[in-house]
Copies of this chain bind each other. A is one copy, B any other.
Amino acid sequence: MTRGSGRGGSSAAPRSVDVARLAGVSQKTVSRVFNDEQYVSAEVRRRVLEAAEELGYRRNNAARALASGRTRSIGVVTLGTALYGPASLLMGVERALRDTGYALRVVNTMEGDPAGITGAVDSLLDQGVDGIVISEPIDERGADGADALRVGVPVLVLGAPSPVAAPTVLTAGDGADLMARAATEHLLELGHLTVHHLAGPQRWYAARDRLEGWRTTLAAHGRDVPPVVEGDWSAASGYAAGRELAADTAVTAVFAANDDMAIGLIRALTEAGRRVPRDVSVVGFDDVPVAAYVTPPLTTVPQPFDAVAQEGLKRLVHTIENPEADPLPASDPPVDLVVRSSTAPPPHRTTPGRGRRATAPSRAAAPAPPPANGGHPTPR
């Protein structure tokens, strides 16, 4: 296997020895230059770089990984969906990664996939990665049971507790309960006696967190906790839930676990003759790009995807590169709420129902809704 088919052809990719020969130095020196090691004279460095340039040299990563034991890549496990949340998180991860010098490998885990997260992580391990990011995992068999997959590299889990066992497990982006609290409190402050919840699929931690935040907020204010309606994140499921909720005139405020469901919900309410926000207020979650432009513009809780990804990856990379050191501490992501036009004080009660403004909040008037483009500065 004498490379290059005999004749001194220039077909194959140049190697560091070739560069070394041309520059008149040893191969190791070329390696030094490309690794930005010290102890290389400026003159030699220049010669090497020049030779490399001339030859069109580029380091062979496989060889590098083999020799060093580090692949310099990080794997991400995502749901195979273009849903705004997961997709935004993935983009956030990529963005955060590009400054770290690590490459990104991506594997999806489709819901209902027999192999699931475990299979996805396993395939990443097969490929060879120095760290793994698991984005928004959902429950599956053995998720936190005894047969949790054991992983030899640090793991960062976004928006959930870890479904795998690893030497170091970091988590980030698990502040959904606080955001749900903000949404719920906004509605209570408008004067609603209680708030209904259109939950996401409860196999998702993100959905459970939001539900939990809603529930505890109501409890903390001494309000009724109405039965939960569960959707599947889709506008279709929000629409279906909306038909149910529209029938119950006691419903004056709904917190939906994401914007898509909120949009479907609003459509169903509107079709049923219940006006939003006059009869029913709706708060969404995510702040999808169209949220400010649907009818009515949606009050919602923006998620700090980029911040979460950035912080999480910083900590993951730190752990990869300093295995012995203490992991960097997590910081709480900011909680935000964008008030638009889908929320308002409740209608005057014509029936003398059980409602008196028990612990009614002082600030019952709706904050002035921003113009339709509220929260979304028009680019260009």
Contacts and interface: CB of A to CB of B under 8 A. Distances in A.
A107 B94 contact: yes
A235 B95 contact: no
Interface string A76-89: 00001111100110
Contacts of A294: 263, 267, 290, 294-295
B105 A103 contact: yes
Interface in A89-138: 90-91, 94-95, 98, 103-108, 110, 123, 125-128
Looking at A80, A267, A377, the one whose CB has the most chain B CB atoms below 10 A away is: A267
B237 A379 contact: yes
A193 to B, nearest CB: 28
A59 B122 CA distance: 12
A372 interface: yes
Nearest to A83: B289
Given A61-B128, A62-B66, A293 B105 contact: no
Oligomeric state, in number of copies? 2
B293 A58 contact: no
B128 A373 contact: no
A240 interface: yes
Looking at A82, A236, A240, the one whose CB has the most chain B CB atoms below 10 A away is: A82
A146 interface: no
A356 interface: no
A270 interface: yes
B289 A235 contact: yes
Interface in A201-248: 232, 234-240
A258 B152 CA distance: 44
Indicate the size class of the contact surface on chain A.
35 or more
Contact of A293 (B152, B267, B289): B267
Given A88-B82, A91-B82, A103-B105, A292 B235 contact: yes
Interface in A348-380: 372-373, 376-380
A378 B239 contact: yes
Given A87-B82, A128-B60, A260-B290, A378 B237 contact: yes
A63 interface: yes
Contacts of A380: 232, 237
Contacts of A184: none
12 contacts: A58-B125, A61-B126, A61-B127, A65-B65, A83-B289, A94-B107, A98-B107, A104-B106, A234-B376, A236-B377, A239-B293, A267-B294
Q: Which 3 A-B pairs have the closest CB atoms?
A: A62-B65, A235-B293, A236-B378
Given A82-B88, A239-B378, A240-B378, 8 more contacts: A58-B126, A60-B66, A61-B65, A62-B65, A103-B127, A104-B107, A237-B379, A295-B295
